[in-house]
Amino acid sequence: MQTTNRWGWGVLLLCLALLVNGCGYSFPHVYEGAHRTVYMPTWQNRTNKLGLDMKLYQSLSRWFQQAEKVDLTRQKGEASDYVLTGEILSIDLPSVSWNTIADVTGTKVSLIVRFALKDQRSGKAVWEVGGKLYTADYTVTSTTVADEDQALAKIIDDLSEDLYIGVLKKIRQQQNRSTPPSS
């Protein structure tokens, strides 16, 4: 009985220690540091699909509305802490799959982008991706513009989420480097 009692107290103390000290896990969608502004100039669109840069900015803006202390802006005049630049390198609309009786069974939309997040004060890149591929597959009965647009909307949302989470992560890392450890 004594051993069981000690075991119970040990578990209780361990749980209390974790509760008091925290486990070090952070939610990737949440930023709780000092207020920051990210300036995002218009991305270069090297594809023949017009308006992709605007759709990306609108989607990314929706993601950044979740962060109370990080603002995304297109206004260069506003004081910004970071600059998010990028370009849409290529798009492949669509690659088509056929079944055995020559009916279209699926499309694959591909988008390649590159981007960089720079610290405005130091001018140094804190995050750079030289080329990232995003794809979306859709089963269809015939190839239509609506199918392409639906696939492209998914890709843009996935890209926006990746950028949002990545920017918050890099801002947190920068803040942790600049915050002196408590004694």
User: 């486990």: which residue's tokens?
Assistant: 23
Which domains, and CATH codes, for the chain?
29-177 (3.40.50.10610)
CB 172 within 8 A of CB 43: no
158 vs 138, residue with greater confidence: 158
**pTM (predicted TM-score):** 0.75
Reduced to 3 states (helix: H, G, I; strand: E, B; else coil), residue 8 is: helix
Express as a percent the part of the chain with pLDDT over 90. Answer: 47
**Within 10 A of 167 (CB to CB), how many other CB atoms are there?**
26
Q: Which residues make Cβ contacts (< 8 Å) with residue 160, sequence separation at least 6?
A: 56, 59, 60, 62, 63
| Rounded CA separation 151/54 (Å) | 17
Q: Read off the pLDDT of residues 49-92 as tens digits, 9 standing for 90 and up.
A: 999 999 999 999 999 998 888 999 998 876 789 999 999 999 98
Per residue in 108-137, pLDDT (tens digit) is 889 999 999 999 989 999 999 999 999 998
What are the φ/ψ torsions at residue 35 (nearest 5 degrees)?
-65, 135
